[in-house]
Amino acid sequence: MLCDIDFEQLTTLSYPLANRFYKQAREKGKTQSSDEIYVARIEQKIIAAVRLCPLSGSKVLSTQPSAKLLLRSLAVLPEYRRTGIGTQFMQYIAEQIGSRECWCYPFSWLQEFYEQFGFHIVEPNDAPEFIRTPFGNYQRQGRDILIMALNTRNKD
């Protein structure tokens, strides 16, 4: 039984810990100084991490309500997958996102997972250029992904 899971935002000085985690989890994630990095830990061991990256073109700080974010590199260590950790972690992450606009490119089989937290599918033609262009590149690479967004409905 899993218990005592701690969720936290890393300080910039701790970003190398997230990079080490991504390598251990065999994920391609690599932190940037402008990212918000969140982790889940059991005792002191990082078992999950995610990056909230400010989207280029967003002229406001990522912490401002009008910020546009890209959720990237959500990963859980293989031995903790399918235990509910990812769901608990995403509930925490959704709280951290708050009212900020957030986009992601999940694999298609993760649609229901992200919908639980309020993300909805956005058709490529309905997405802004800063989302549509990378999505097209990912599709050309053969990735079976979607465009999903949070806090974008009823916005101009």
**Predicted pLDDT of residue 2:** 53
Tell me which of 43-47, 62-66, 84-88, 141-145 is least confident.
Answer: 62-66
As a whole number of angstroms, the distance between CA 52 and CA 68 comes to: 10
Q: Which residues contact 75 (CB under 8 A, 6 or more apart)?
A: 21, 22, 25, 27, 29, 48, 49, 50
Q: Is the pLDDT of residue 155 over 50?
A: no
Q: Structure pTM?
A: 0.89
Model confidence pLDDT, tens digit, residues 105-144: 999 999 999 999 999 999 999 999 999 999 999 999 999 9
The percent of residues in the chain predicted with pLDDT above 70, rounded, is 88
Question: Using 50, 70 and 90 to split pLDDT, how confident is the model at 28?
Answer: confident
